Amino acid sequence: MKRFKKIVILATLVTMMASILTGCGSKKDADSAEGKKVLKVAMECSYAPYNWTQPDDTNGAVQIQDSKDFAYGYDVMIAKKIADELGYELQIVKLDWDSLVPAVQSGTVDCVIAGQSITSERLQMVDFSNPYYYASIVTLTKKDGTFASAKGISELAGATCTSQLGTVWYDVCLGQITDANILPAQESAPSMLVALDSDRVDLVVTDMPTAKAATVAYPDLTILDFTDTEDNFEVSEEEINIGISVQKGNSELLEGINGVLEKMTTDDYNKMMDEAISVQPLS
């Protein structure tokens, strides 16, 4: 019995030491080899022009954590600017869309820069920076399609449509199309575009940057923009303002990010987005 107790005590001590060493390792991992703090930024790396994956560091792409591939796009440009101005070493973490918010909540990453709308639902889970882009909502369809000449959403009635999972495009906009045949949401923006290109749907709803990028990759697509009409999708400002999410209560990082964004103008954002679209894959 005493021997058993000794074994238990020894096992407990080993476990405690392992925990201490693991903790020390985690702290060390938070700093780069140059002594800089590391800013871990999560994104899908598959959502052009906001972010995508490429095989090299062309145009200043950043290597993805635990991968030989690199990430680039508008979100990476913004992340690099924030990291440079705040004195961080940037680390890009590739995650699925549905894993982004949980990763911030758990502290696995420091922030998400991934074309996220600043919705009230997300604000219950994470804090958001000031907007770093204003993304109007548009419709994409084939140039020779049934709905190519539509002048408003009322003229999209009866369309077979889809959009990306977990977005206001799917959750809020598609239901506003009269008698729409709404197919299941697609897991990513690329899969949404493939559904349209392969004629599985008549149209998809997305934001303007994604649509512009799509027309470069798929020249047979056209953008239907009803923004300046009364026959447009009804969305709130929060649903089209794109922000950077951080863990609740991380005011130091949030203030730092907002400080960088406050120095930028709408022209700065648009110039960066146009650059991202011009160098996106398949362009």
Give the model confidence (pLDDT) of 113-139 as tens digits.
999 989 888 999 999 999 999 889 999
What integer pLDDT is reported at residue 34 of this predicted model?
A: 66
Taking a C-beta distance cutoff of 8 angstroms, is the pair 92, 100 a contact? no
- Whether residues 37 and 129 fall in one domain: yes
In a domain, 23, yes or no: no
What integer pLDDT is reported at residue 135 of this predicted model?
A: 85
Rounded to whole angstroms, how far apart are CA atoms 98 and 91?
Answer: 20
In a domain, 247, yes or no: yes
In a domain, 14, yes or no: no
- Phi, psi for 229 (deg, rounded to 5): -120, 165
What integer pLDDT is reported at residue 16 of this predicted model?
A: 40
In a domain, 21, yes or no: no
What residues pair up with 37 in beta bridges, in sequence order?
Answer: 31, 88
- Whether residues 112 and 140 fall in one domain: no
Rounded to whole angstroms, how far apart are CA atoms 63 and 123?
Answer: 30
- Whether residues 76 and 165 fall in one domain: no
- Whether residues 211 and 94 fall in one domain: no
In a domain, 20, yes or no: no
- Whether residues 37 and 113 fall in one domain: yes
In 3D space, the residue among 245, 270, 187 whose CA is nearest the CA of residue 40 turns out to be 245
What are the residues whose beta carbons fall under 8 Å from the beta carbon of 11, sequence distance 6 or more?
none
Q: Which parts of the chain have pLDDT scores under 70?
A: 1-34, 282-283
| Residue the block writes with tokens 């705040």 | 86
In a domain, 18, yes or no: no
| Six-digit token string for 38 | 């590391």
What integer pLDDT is reported at residue 8 of this predicted model?
A: 38
What integer pLDDT is reported at residue 9 of this predicted model?
A: 39
What integer pLDDT is reported at residue 14 of this predicted model?
A: 37
What integer pLDDT is reported at residue 13 of this predicted model?
A: 40
> Range of 106's domain?
31-133+242-279
Residue 215, domain CATH:
3.40.190.10
What integer pLDDT is reported at residue 150 of this predicted model?
A: 98
What integer pLDDT is reported at residue 100 of this predicted model?
A: 97
For 237-263, b/e burial (b = at least 16 CB within 10 A) is ebbbbbbbbbbeebeebbebbeebbee
Q: Is 45 left (phi over 0), alpha (psi -120 to 50) or beta?
A: left
Q: For the chain, how many structural domains are there in total?
A: 2
Q: What is the pTM (predicted TM-score) of this model? A: 0.76
CA atoms within 13 A on the CB side of 68: 1
